[in-house]
Amino acid sequence: MVKTNKKNIKYKNKTRKKKYTKPKNFIFGYGSIICSQSRIYTGKNCVGKPIPVELSKKFGYVRVWDCKKTDRGAFLSLKKTKTNSKNINGILFPIFNNIKSFDKREKGYKRIKIKINTPKKRQLIKSLNEKSIPNYDFNIYMYIIDNHVLPHKNCYISQRYLDITLSGCLEYGIDFAKKLLKTTLSWKGKNNKVHWKNDRNQKTDRKYKVKNINHILIDNLIQETIPQYFKYRTKI
């Protein structure tokens, strides 16, 4: 009988490589969700790395200030239009699960799905950095509004909200932030007036706080880019 020494037996470590699954579903973020701190708070462990992009005007949308979502103030929204559509910059990020957390965040909006299933459609999405748009079929989810409600004296553009949005834009550079300001409509609300207030010193019910916002840089950026509207911003 042959004795075997267990110490001399070599076992091969079989390590299974995780199979990479290409993300199939993406969200197009065009407002405060551009800010990484804001997005990660909502998405936690279910979102991937974003790509700064520009959606072609051929999709038929414009970014507007809108008061339909809540009575807490005006928020950025996308509106479908047959005329005067614009190229819209924002971010495209993969969502792996738990999209309902974003549905809850975007209560008041309608989530739509756009199938990007041809090379021609993929060409309508332009990457604004070295990262490439997926070269396979995928879906884009966007939160839009049906009926546009212009800002008014009781539903004004909040500087605090704009700070978060522009802070996110600045993660991709000054030009990216300027593009958002230039391609956003409805700075003038009801009665053709600008309803925009500097509410930075007001208390907020937001459950998270975005850190390291450079208010001086943001104010200079706004004043340089859209001075015709910025001059009407008032204090609370």
Is position 12 within any domain?
Answer: no
- Across the range 164-185, mean pLDDT stands at 98
Q: Express each pLDDT in 82-118 by its tens digit.
A: 888 999 999 999 998 889 999 999 988 999 999 999 9
- 179 within 8 A of 56, measured Cβ to Cβ: no
Domain count for the chain, please give it.
Answer: 1
Q: What is the mean pLDDT of the chain?
A: 90
Q: For residue 102, what are its two tokens? A: 């974003």
- CB half-sphere exposure, 184, CA atoms < 13 A: 28
Is position 229 within any domain?
Answer: yes
3 state SS of 141: strand
Is position 6 within any domain?
Answer: no
DSSP H helical ranges for the chain: 36-43, 100-105, 119-122, 159-169, 174-182, 215-225, 227-230
pTM as predicted: 0.88
Is position 4 within any domain?
Answer: no
Is position 178 within any domain?
Answer: yes
Is position 119 within any domain?
Answer: yes
Is position 13 within any domain?
Answer: no
Distance CA 85, CA 83 (A): 6
Q: What is the pLDDT of residue 70?
A: 61
> At 117, which CATH number?
3.10.490.10
Q: Band of the pLDDT at 11, cuts 50, 70, 90?
A: very low
3 state SS of 44: coil
Is position 147 within any domain?
Answer: yes
Q: What is the pLDDT of residue 236?
A: 86
- Give me the domain span that covers residue 140: 25-235
Q: Count other Cβ atoms within 10 Å, centred on residue 122.
A: 17
Q: For residue 56, what are its two tokens? A: 């072609």
For residue 73, give every residue at least 6 positions away whose Cβ sits within 8 Å of its Cβ, in sequence order, or none.
Answer: 67, 155, 156, 157, 158, 161
Q: What is the pLDDT of residue 21?
A: 80
